[in-house]
Amino acid sequence: MPTLILGVHNHQPVGNFDHVVREAYDRAYRPFLELLDAHPAMRLCVHVSGPLIEWMKREAPDYLERLRAGATAGRLELLGGGYWEPILTVLTERDQHAQLERMSREVEALCGRRPRGIWLAERIWEPHLPRVLQAHGIEYAALDDTHFLATGFTPDRLGGYFLTEEGGRALALFPISKRLRYLVPFRAPAEVLAYLRGSAAPGDGDLAGADAADAEGVPGLPLAVLMDDGEKFGVWPGTNDLCYTQGRLAKLFGALAAEPGLRLATFSEVLDEQPPLGPAYLPTGSYFEMGEWALPLAGQQKLAALTALVKQHDGGLQPFVRGGFWRNFFAKYEESHWLHKRMLWAGRAVSAAREAGTADAGALAEAEDRILEAQCNCGYWHGLFGGLYLPHLRHAILERLVRAEHLVAGPGYTLAQEDLDIDGDAEIVWTSPAARLFLKPRGGRVRELDLREPAFPLTNVLARREEFYHRRLAEALAPGEAADAAKSIHDIVRAKETGLEEFLVYDPHPRASLEERLYETGADAAPYAGSWQDLADLHCAVELPAAPDGELVLRGERAFETGRRLELVKRLRWADDGWTLAVDLALCYHGPGRLASLLASGWNLNLLAPEAPDRRVLVDGRPAADARLRSRGWERDIGRLELRDDWSGLAVALAGEELDVWREPIETVSLSEAGFERVYQGSWLAVARRIELESGQTARLRYRLELARLAGATA
């Protein structure tokens, strides 16, 4: 029998809803630890992320006391990591050290000693990490066995730990058994023990979620490691009943403790007592599914075909079938790329204030904290869990960035140009006393608009795009129909409501605001998808104002094979002490015949909570016929259409004279651990007018985007 290391990683994202965290605590974290206390022979390695530690300090301090007691008694080993659960490899080196040191100090305060090991968020490994980790006394990390198998290690060689290095800085690496991750808690303890003994397990061939190649892992090795998400022991569908009501976890703990010759140990105990098996140099990677999710749609389709082909052959080929690189999410999702580059830009702004000594020490310290919080990884990517598709997680990131920037910035107008998203085009960063917008020359579009106080990202939207898993929607169970008993979330297929296939509508490109579109003459709507002419890729020349509070002008032109040519001029100016953005558009037509169309200029806005009674649509000061943010339709011949958020205490409105305004919800269909779900990503609001132009004639469209801070907010 081998030595067995057991561990759990508990995490909740920055910005997650309190009731969601509470449910995870009640259904998984608390009962797991209580059960562990009832089995004193068990030993466990535990990682609790910083966001969850902060929640527990407020809501469940007794959990932290249980951790302290277990660590003091030598039954628990607490792991370090990046405090706010970032992907360390995509941070600046300064922030990497800040994240690691914060967690090391928290662990030391909790159990009296600094952590020797680290939990890497999503097990994302890049070879330069040992150099950074060693500076904080980190001696080991745990990675999936697939990291090792993809490098050419054979399963029979993974019964221990290995040493890697970067520039002579060493780090021990423990392989986590994928086979055990799929066995526990879904299979009976007898099967787990059979695997550990090296004997065949009943039903071994049809283990849910595991490939035939996964079963190739050799059991009965001197060391086995199982470290997995704590949420699978109570939060994943069916697992609370399985683990606690049916007693699967108690039976497993009892069976492990009673098994002759099986030793339960922690990482540090093994590190101190056993020599390494040798060197290992691992490529960048994570678990298999992460590599799959990081690929673009066409790549995922090819990977699925290749995986199916390899499964037909039992030649040990599966470990060499791999997906993409985690950083590919920045290429796959423009929104992820923007979030990451915005975070780096905000960090540079805070660093510049620190170096210049222009910010109050207290404000500077808070700003630095907000930047670190905004590095929580969950809102930057999407796979099985909602992640990037969840607006409140993106909002939490952007809100903290806006807050950090506001803390170290001056109160007045500023104007700067910088290619902050590294796409070869310098963005215009235009700040007023009340707001800040990031404007892209391509299309003359507003990529982001933020209210500075309260810190609120108004344009936090996500484009509707085709996902690989959309093909599985037809297989989903009807709502209310019971899913199978507990199984891996990689294998659950169900829909949270009927008719989701109707929402599989895809946008032509990532969304921005101040976007102009031309629709057919007879169009009875101004939807985001389906315009006759989309001017979003029109490259505009920029005329900066002499002073930051002056007029900014963008000029673009498009020629058509038919001999037609369009000239678009956008004139923008802050007004009302920066609370209003005045928009003046001029579209000039040149060419044969007449241009007849519906011209629209639109904004993608998101105040979250589309059904909440404290978020609503007002038309000329009165509630719209359908006042939900999720509503759709025209408001004609009006002076003002307002989105109001009484909770946060803010409003944003399109205003002018005799405006026709179209609005529609932006709704995506994404996959989460609970199944397919529809998610409100914001609303498209477009000011429109019908135009008929002869060659040389110009149509004008004028309106204002008005921001307001309300009294009596409940947030």
Round to whole Å and give the CA distance between 16 and 390: 10
Round to whole Å and give the CA distance between 103 and 109: 10
CB 146 within 8 A of CB 124: no
- Distances in whole angstroms, Cα of residue 417 to Cα of each of 171, 404, 409: 42, 20, 16
Whether 229 is catalytic is yes
Question: What does the buried/exposed string (b/e) look like for 37-68 if buried means 16 or more CB atoms within 10 Å of the residue's CB?
Answer: eebeebbbbbbbbbbbbbbbeeebeebbebbb
Closest CA to 330 of 382, 400, 398: 382
Closest CA to 51 of 10, 105, 112: 10
> Per the residue annotation, which of 54, 229, 551, 576 is the catalytic one?
229
Round to whole Å and give the CA distance between 6 and 27: 20
**Cα–Cα–Cα angle for 710, 711, 712, rounded to 5 degrees:** 120
- Residue 152 neighbours by CB under 8 Å, 6+ apart: none
> Per the residue annotation, which of 106, 122, 214, 399 is the catalytic one?
122
Is the CA virtual torsion 11, 14, 20, 26 positive or negative?
Answer: positive
30: which DSSP letter? H
3-state helix, strand, coil in the chain (%, to 5): 35, 30, 35
Strands 445-451 and 456-457: antiparallel
Closest CA to 16 of 50, 46, 66, 45: 50
**Cα–Cα–Cα angle for 423, 426, 432, rounded to 5 degrees:** 130
Q: Which positions are annotated as active-site residues?
A: 122, 229
